[in-house]
Amino acid sequence: MKSISPFPSQAPFDHQAIRDQFPALKQTLGDHPLCYLDTAATSQKPQAVIDAMNEYYQLNNANVHRAAHQLSARATSQYEAVRQQVGHFINASKPQEIIFTHGTTESINMVAYGLTEQLKANDVILIDTAAHHANIVPWQELAKRTGAVIKPIPLTANAQLDIDAYDQLLACKPKLVALCHVSNALGTVNPINDLIAKAKNAGALTLIDGAQAVAHLDINVQHIDCDFYVFSGHKMYGPTGVGILYGRFEQLDALTPMLTGGEMIKTVSFDRTEYGELPNRLEAGTPAIAEVIGLGAAITFLQGLPRQDIAIHEQQLMGYLQQQLLSVGDITLYGIADSPQQNNIGSVAFNVADEHHQDVGILLDQQAVAVRCGHHCAMPLMSELNLAGCCRASIGIYTNKQDIDQFIHALNTVKELLL
């Protein structure tokens, strides 16, 4: 594939016009307009995505790859066009390197299962301590099957990846290094390119969880030079139930399929089965066709936006959000480096004094402010921070200053009630 920018700027920056394309944000809850600060959990969907999925079900509803009639031909054409589109979006070298899954979790599980025959006892697997459970548990299961050893990569005092400790662990010659591009709990950005280069020099395979990065950063997998990169549609303004497993062709082709059955075969008899070629080989069964088409519409939507203007807007919002949180008083922020808005995107993790995070979240919800509260599927990270959990406010391309102001006003009310 030709290397192209995944976010070409095609329109002048009109933030309100972008926000207006998200119907869910127009609602009120009680006496308050919805203030949605939970995009890191799932993003809201633009009308274009909703329309694309509706059109499939209304006009083109048929299975892909399996019939001679026109509906199936149209559905197959749309489905495979999205594979090409995703490939260009992240700059894969060929469309066969794009595997459709049900989300980041399934993508990681497919790799972990697929490597079972390639690992052996005492092989080392390095995992980011700040990783989502989906980038921890599948590797633990792989270790159980093979006798491999899990080693967590420590964090510094401000919850950044400890590069010195990482360098020392690489001396163990790990077989696999699993990292997050952006922490789902803290929003911290890992220096992926440098980390991957070091892992490659140590002879390790590399997998990057890009679920929190793909909606905020330009992703170029050839430049990153990882073996696998995974993400979900619903974090990038697309539908739930669809995700992407990118892998270098030779690495994907060496994976043992996790799912077997229809579509992924070349020939079947009662004596033997021969698997098909990529990408079919790793896509058993009827896929999430409408969701794939919705993902394509989300990419088209993103590609039509002035990405540089939006990046500046989000950076300014992050700085404003952090400053306003600190101005409330009795607020602790987590994972903030010396220049936080430079090393944090999308999310801010915080607690109010010694109050329980769940109490804070419930009281914010009563004022129509949606944030996430809990351990954020990152219990090892919470343990490292000596926390039972925390609150997380996360932004998207539709978030504006009024959202932040409504949130801070609500948080001040919560503080007055609790303290």
Q: Could you tell me where the DSSP H helices lie in 178-253?
A: 192-201, 221-224, 249-253
Residue in 226, 377, 390, 391 annotated catalytic: 377
Question: How far apart are the C-alpha atoms of 136 and 120, rounded to whole Å?
Answer: 18
Instruction: Give Cα separations from 223 to 37, 92, 157, 344 (angstroms).
Output: 31, 10, 30, 21
What count of Cα atoms within 13 Å lies in the side-chain half-sphere of residue 240? 5
Long-range residue pairs from 191-195, CB within 8 A, at least 24 positions apart, any chain: 191/161, 191/163, 192/224, 192/226, 193/223, 193/224, 193/225, 195/161, 195/166
Q: Beta 331-334 vs 347-352: how paired, if at all? A: antiparallel
Question: How far apart are the C-alpha atoms of 98 and 235, rounded to whole Å?
Answer: 18
112 and 136 Cβ atoms separated by less than 8 Å: no
Helices 47-59 and 289-303: crossing angle in degrees, nearest 10, is: 140
**Catalytic residue status for 377:** yes
**Number of separate helices (H) and strands (E) present in the chain:** 15, 17
Helix (H), strand (E) at residue 296:
helix 289-303
Which tokens hold the place of 51? 């329309």
Of 158, 193, 183, 191, nearest to 338 (Cα)?
A: 158
Residue type for position 102 = H
Question: How far apart are the C-alpha atoms of 138 and 101, rounded to whole Å?
Answer: 15
Point out the residues that are catalytic: 377
